[in-house]
Amino acid sequence: MFETITALLQPWADYYAEHTTLSTAVLAAHLLAMFVGGGLAIGADRRLLLAEPGTPEAYRAAAADLQAQHGLVIASLVGIVVSGLALATADAETYLTSRIYWAKMGTFALLLLNGLRMRRTEAQLLRAVANTTELSVAGPQLTLPWGALRQSAGASFALWCVVLLLGVVVANS
């Protein structure tokens, strides 16, 4: 099975190895997409973690700021996955058998799952705020999933950093 996969990928591996411009472009695309997507995501996570909203409007603004980053972050994730797969399949024998590579993939999967949870929580928060705009200040009636959103932002920050570190280790091991 493993031999079949590597044999099928051999023409791509040979082509990639013989064309330095292509290999440079693929690695550059991987790092650029990571830089843009990770940078935007980490910036938004940090703003959310530092925010101390006291009114429904401030909660809404904090969740809306997070929501505004999703389009570009998702586009960058697509770029990361496509370029990452191009890198991995250019040397399948090395990567498919590397534990660090699989640890990176596992951490990346956690990052994606956390992103989905974050989108759900932020939509819940926005819905809850929309139903309570007449309240002046966060009172006992206002129960918002703020703690869960902060948890996801903290996890996102940490997971981006761990995937990046594992990426460097994979490339140099």
Closest CA to 141 of 131, 155, 153, 154: 131
Q: Which is nearer to ligand HEM, 28 or 130 (CB)?
A: 28
Q: Does position 164 bind ligand HEM by CB under 6 A? A: yes
Q: Does position 108 bind ligand HEM by CB under 6 A? A: yes
Query: What does the alpha-carbon distance between residue 58 and residue 63 come to, in Å, rounded to a whole number?
Result: 9
The answer to whether 111 and 160 are in contact (CB under 8 A) is yes
Q: Does position 92 bind ligand HEM by CB under 6 A? A: no
**Among residues 22, 58, 61, 81, the one that binds ligand HEM under rule CB under 6 A:** 81
The residue assigned the tokens 């956390």 is 114
Length of the chain equals 173
Copy the structure tokens of residue 75.
């586009």
Query: What is the nearest approach in angstroms of ligand HEM to the Cβ of residue 126?
Result: 27
Contact residues: ligand HEM, CB under 6 A? 27, 30, 34, 38, 80-81, 84-85, 87-88, 95, 108, 160, 163-164, 167-168, 170-171
